[in-house]
Amino acid sequence: MTEEHAVVIVGAGPTGLVLAGELALAGIDVAIVERRPDQELAGSRAGGLSSRTLEVFDQRGIVDRFLAQGQVAQVTGFAVTRLDISDFPTRHNYGLALRQKHIERILAGWIDELAVPVHRGRELKGFVQDDAGVTIELSGGEKTLRAGYLVGCDGGRSLVRKTAGIEFPGWDATTSSILAEVEMAEEPPLGVHRTARGVHAFSREQYEIRDGRIIFAREGPVGVMVTEKTAGATSEPTLDELKELLVEACGTDYGIRRLNWISRFTDMSRQAAAYRKGRVLLAGDAAHVHSPVGGQGLNTGVQDAMNLGWKLAQVVKGVSPEGLLDTYHAERHPVAARVLRTTMAQVALQRTDDRTEALREIMSELLGMEEPRRRIAAEMSGLAIRYDLGEGHPLLGRRMPDLDVLTADGPVRVFALLRDARPLLLDLGAPGRFDVSPWAGRIKLVNGRCDGPWELPALGAVAAPAAVLVRPDGYVAWASDGASDGLQQAMNRWFGA
The mean pLDDT value for 452-459 works out to 84
Same domain? For 331 and 223 the reply is no
Say if 219 falls within a structural domain. yes
Domain final residue, candidates 241, 266, 291: 266
The mean pLDDT value for 17-28 works out to 98
* Contact predicate 55/384, CB 8 Å: no
Give the pLDDT confidence score for residue 142 in this predicted structure. Answer: 74
Q: At what angle do helices 326-349 and 370-380 cross, to 10 degrees?
A: 130
Q: Which of 279, 33, 315, 332 is nearest to 155 (CA)?
A: 33
Give the pLDDT confidence score for residue 147 in this predicted structure. Answer: 97
How does 473-494 read in b/e, with b if 16+ C-beta sit within 10 Å? bbbbbbbbeeeeebbbebbebb
Domain final residue, candidates 266, 291, 317: 266
Domain final residue, candidates 266, 281, 308: 266
The mean pLDDT value for 203-225 works out to 72
> What is the domain range of residue 44?
2-170+270-380
As a whole number of Å, the CA-based R_g of the chain is 23
Annotate 28-43 with DSSP letters as a single string. --EEEEESSSSS---S
Give the count of domains, the chain: 3
Kindly tell me if the per-residue pLDDT of 197 is higher than 80.
no
Q: Which of 158, 227, 208 is nearest to 15 (CA)?
A: 158
What's the one-letter identity of residue 116?
V
Assign 195 a pLDDT band (cuts: 50, 70, 90): confident
Most confident stretch, 195-209, 333-347, 447-461: 333-347
**How confident is the model over 340-372, as pLDDT tens digits?**
999 999 999 988 888 999 999 999 999 999 999
Say if 362 falls within a structural domain. yes
Say if 417 falls within a structural domain. yes
Q: 3-class SS at 288?
A: strand
Pick from 101-115, 158-172, 443-457: least confident: 443-457
The mean pLDDT value for 225-252 works out to 87
Say if 398 falls within a structural domain. no
Kindly tell me if the per-residue pLDDT of 204 is higher than 60.
yes
Say if 16 falls within a structural domain. yes
Q: Could you give the CA distance from residue 103 to residue 108 in angstroms, rounded to a whole number?
A: 9
Give the pLDDT confidence score for residue 456 in this predicted structure. Answer: 92
Quote the mean pLDDT of the chain: 91
* Contact predicate 435/491, CB 8 Å: no
Q: 3-class SS at 367?
A: helix
Assign 171 a pLDDT band (cuts: 50, 70, 90): very high
**How confident is the model over 391-415, as pLDDT tens digits?**
889 999 999 999 999 998 999 999 9
Order of all β-strands in the sheet with 95-97: 48-49, 95-97, 71-73
What CATH number is associated with residue 239? 3.30.70.2450
Give the pLDDT confidence score for residue 190 in this predicted structure. Answer: 86
Kindly tell me if the per-residue pLDDT of 212 is higher than 60.
no
Same domain? For 413 and 428 the reply is yes
Kindly tell me if the per-residue pLDDT of 111 is higher than 70.
yes
Same domain? For 157 and 191 the reply is no
Say if 389 falls within a structural domain. no
Same domain? For 26 and 159 the reply is yes
Assign 211 a pLDDT band (cuts: 50, 70, 90): low
Give the pLDDT confidence score for residue 246 in this predicted structure. Answer: 92
Give the pLDDT confidence score for residue 481 in this predicted structure. Answer: 83
Q: Are β-strands 124-129 and 269-271 bridged in parallel, bridged antiparallel, or unpaired? A: unpaired
Q: How many CB atoms lie within 10 A of CB 287?
A: 30
Measure Cα distances from 419 to 26, 56, 96, 403, 471 in Å.
Answer: 11, 10, 21, 15, 12
Same domain? For 57 and 140 the reply is yes
Same domain? For 125 and 12 the reply is yes
Give the pLDDT confidence score for residue 45 in this predicted structure. Answer: 63
Of the CA atoms within 13 Å of residue 420, those in its CB half-sphere come to 9
Give the pLDDT confidence score for residue 38 in this predicted structure. Answer: 86
Give the pLDDT confidence score for residue 207 in this predicted structure. Answer: 61
Kindly tell me if the per-residue pLDDT of 148 is higher than 80.
yes
Q: Which of 114, 102, 104, 106 is nearest to 20 (CA)?
A: 114
Q: 3-class SS at 215?
A: strand
The mean pLDDT value for 2-17 works out to 96
Assign 193 a pLDDT band (cuts: 50, 70, 90): confident
Give the pLDDT confidence score for residue 206 in this predicted structure. Answer: 67
Assign 215 a pLDDT band (cuts: 50, 70, 90): low
In 196-339, where do the E strands start and end?
A: 198-203, 207-210, 213-216, 222-227, 256-266, 269-271, 276-277, 280-282, 288-289
**How confident is the model over 43-102, as pLDDT tens digits?**
656 678 999 999 999 999 999 999 999 989 887 889 878 899 999 999 999 999 898 999
Give the pLDDT confidence score for residue 169 in this predicted structure. Answer: 97
Say if 387 falls within a structural domain. no
Assign 252 a pLDDT band (cuts: 50, 70, 90): very high
Q: At what angle do helices 297-317 and 326-349 cross, to 10 degrees?
A: 180
What CATH number is associated with residue 307? 3.50.50.60
Alpha helices by DSSP H, listed for 272-419, are 297-317, 326-349, 354-367, 370-380, 414-417
Give the pLDDT confidence score for residue 257 in this predicted structure. Answer: 86
Same domain? For 70 and 16 the reply is yes
Say if 232 falls within a structural domain. yes
Same domain? For 19 and 86 the reply is yes
What CATH number is associated with residue 468? 3.40.30.120
Most confident stretch, 79-83, 156-160, 479-483: 156-160
Same domain? For 20 and 67 the reply is yes
Annotate 398-440 with DSSP letters as a single string. BBPP--EEEETTEEEEHHHHTTT---EEEE-SSTT----GGGT
Same domain? For 443 and 363 the reply is no
Give the pLDDT confidence score for residue 199 in this predicted structure. Answer: 84
Same domain? For 257 and 207 the reply is yes
Same domain? For 148 and 105 the reply is yes
Give the pLDDT confidence score for residue 44 in this predicted structure. Answer: 59
Kindly tell me if the per-residue pLDDT of 265 is higher than 60.
yes
Q: Report the DSSP beta bridge partners of residue 5.
A: 147
pTM: 0.94
Looking at the chain, the whole-number percentage of residues with pLDDT higher than 70 is 96
* Contact predicate 126/137, CB 8 Å: yes
Q: Could you give the CA distance from residue 483 to residue 57 in angstroms, rounded to a whole number?
A: 32
Tell me which H or E stretch contains 52.
helix 51-59
Stronger pLDDT, 414 or 431, i.e. the higher one:
414
